[in-house]
Structures are given as C-alpha cells and as structure tokens.
Amino acid sequence: MAEAPGPTLSTDRLVLRRWLERDLAPFAAMNADPEVMRYFTRPLGADESDAMVGRIESRFDEHGYGLWAVERRADQAFLGFTGLATTESLGFVGPAAALLGPPPIPEAEIGWRFARFAWGQGYATEAARAALRFGFDSAGMHEVVSLTSTLNLRSMRVMERIGLHRDPAEDFDHPRIPEGSPIRRHVLYRLTGAEFRDLP
C-alpha cells in the first residue's frame, strides 16, 4: 500500500492520515479483540480487516475524506481510526434513509474505533473534533450524525463531549443488524455546521 496524498489532520497529540501498510497488522489485532468489537455483530478476521482498509482508502479517493488512521505524535503508534463515512456507504439509502430524518439527509456519520490501550485518554474526543472541523469547514457539510448501540455508553459520552445531541424519539433499529440482537437498537446523535461554530 503506497502512501496516498492527504488530507492529513493534526491535533496537539495526534495525526489523522491516510492508511499505510504498517497499519494493517495492529488494525487486524484491534478488530479481532472481542472487547473492542463488543457493540458490533462480531470481531473481524485479518482478511476482513484488510479489506475494510481497502474500502476506506477507496472512499478517500472518491469523496476526499473518510476514516483517517489515527497515529500518536509522541511515538507514531497506531491507535485506531476516526473520521467521516458517507451515509450511503452505511446503507442509509432508499427506505432506510428515512431513519435519518427529513431532507437534506446528513452528508456523513462521524465515528471512531480505538485499540484498548488507547481508551480513556481523550484520544477519540480530540480526533473527532478535528474530523468535525474538516467536515464543516473544509468539506462544507450541513449536518453530521453519529450512531451506536444504546448499550455503548462510552461512545455516547464522546458524542456528547464533541457537541452532538440526541432526541430519544429518533432511536431506531439498525437495518443491518438482525432482529433479536441486543445491539440492534441504536441512538442517533446530530450536529449541524451552525451548531458546531457556536460551540465554546
């Protein structure tokens, strides 16, 4: 995998960048960790994890943004990813798009996934703020959403710290998760560009 041109985002402690070959092994290890993948349908095998990186990189080429690999400045350690995924790529098209409310459909979901050793240090919040800034200021997005299982309190706290807000009336059953699964019920958080610019 050759290093591809930007966009690269920087924060005090982190670099959000395109993916490199050396990210594949730690990413696969992270995706195989049952605790990291607790609120997904299952852990991923190495081939599935590598294929996910291929899809992520393709979307960078197509849209000019995506799920950035997150690297710690101090030691270049791979921590996980944070970024913006198009709502179409998440499967919210056709009837499923109604889950996201009336037009205009939000351009992207902001999301993150970090290795366990990186939890509890504010990295997800720091990286997500940088991704939001790119989405609203550079990509000209109108609204960004974030969604997760109603059980995933850790991610919900990050959503709230970066300024997103939830209306419980918008909680929904995720169309890609089987009926009867304890993680099927999801919350939906939102943030508009105007709201983002009013944040302290």
Q: What is the pLDDT of residues 32-84, one digit of tens each?
A: 999 999 999 999 999 999 999 999 999 899 889 999 999 999 999 999 999 99
> What pLDDT, in 10s, does the model give residues 145-194?
999 999 999 999 999 999 999 999 888 888 888 999 999 999 999 999 99
Which residue segments constitute the domains of the chain, with CATH numbers given? Answer: 9-197 (3.40.630.30)
pLDDT of residue 97: 57
Residue 95 has pLDDT above 50, yes or no: no
d(C-alpha 171, C-alpha 193), whole Å: 22
| Residues linked to residue 172 through DSSP beta bridges, in sequence order | 186
Calpha distance 23→36 (Å, rounded)? 17
Beta pairing class for 143-149 and 165-166: unpaired
Three-state DSSP class for residue 139: coil
Per-residue pLDDT, 175: 82
